[in-house]
Amino acid sequence: MVDGRAYFALGGWNCSIDAGGGVGCDLAVPAASMNVLYAGMQVSLPNVPAIVIDSAMLPAHPQWDSNGSHTLPGGNPPLTRLTQASYHDPQYSVTYAGANCQITFTGAAVCTSMGHGFSQWGPVPHGY
């Protein structure tokens, strides 16, 4: 925890959760695009260096001006492995200020907060 913000590595992403439940992740390699569910339609947005949930009014979306703001100097500490109660429980998880991020049993990175979320299980991240 640094200045009221939780920092952690989520797979290849450096992420943080602020005290208000805002979640953001700097992607290790910028994604060529991100699919965002907006007004019931999938919208593809290009050149995604970071993803953020910063409002209950908007879905998770690219953060083009992150400039590494979710990354500590030297990188973020990894999440610790959880003892799984079942095969379908997450392997790694962090919860802070009403937000949750996890690595699922299938290896997908997922974060939720403010009624929205984002995930990646292939080359294209998805926001909702």
Domain locations in the chain as residue ranges: 6-119
For CA atoms 42, 48, 51, 56, the dihedral sign is negative
Does the global pTM surpass 0.85? yes
Return the higher-pLDDT residue of 59 and 103. Answer: 59
Tens digits of per-residue pLDDT, 12-58? 899 999 999 999 999 999 999 999 999 999 999 999 999 999 999 99
> Can you give 9-76 as a three-state secondary structure string?
EECCEEEEECCCCCEEEEEEEEEEEEEEEECCEEEEEEEEEEEEECCCCCCCEECCCCCCCCCCCCCC
Phi first, then psi, for residue 88 (nearest 5°) are -90, -5
67-93: average pLDDT: 78
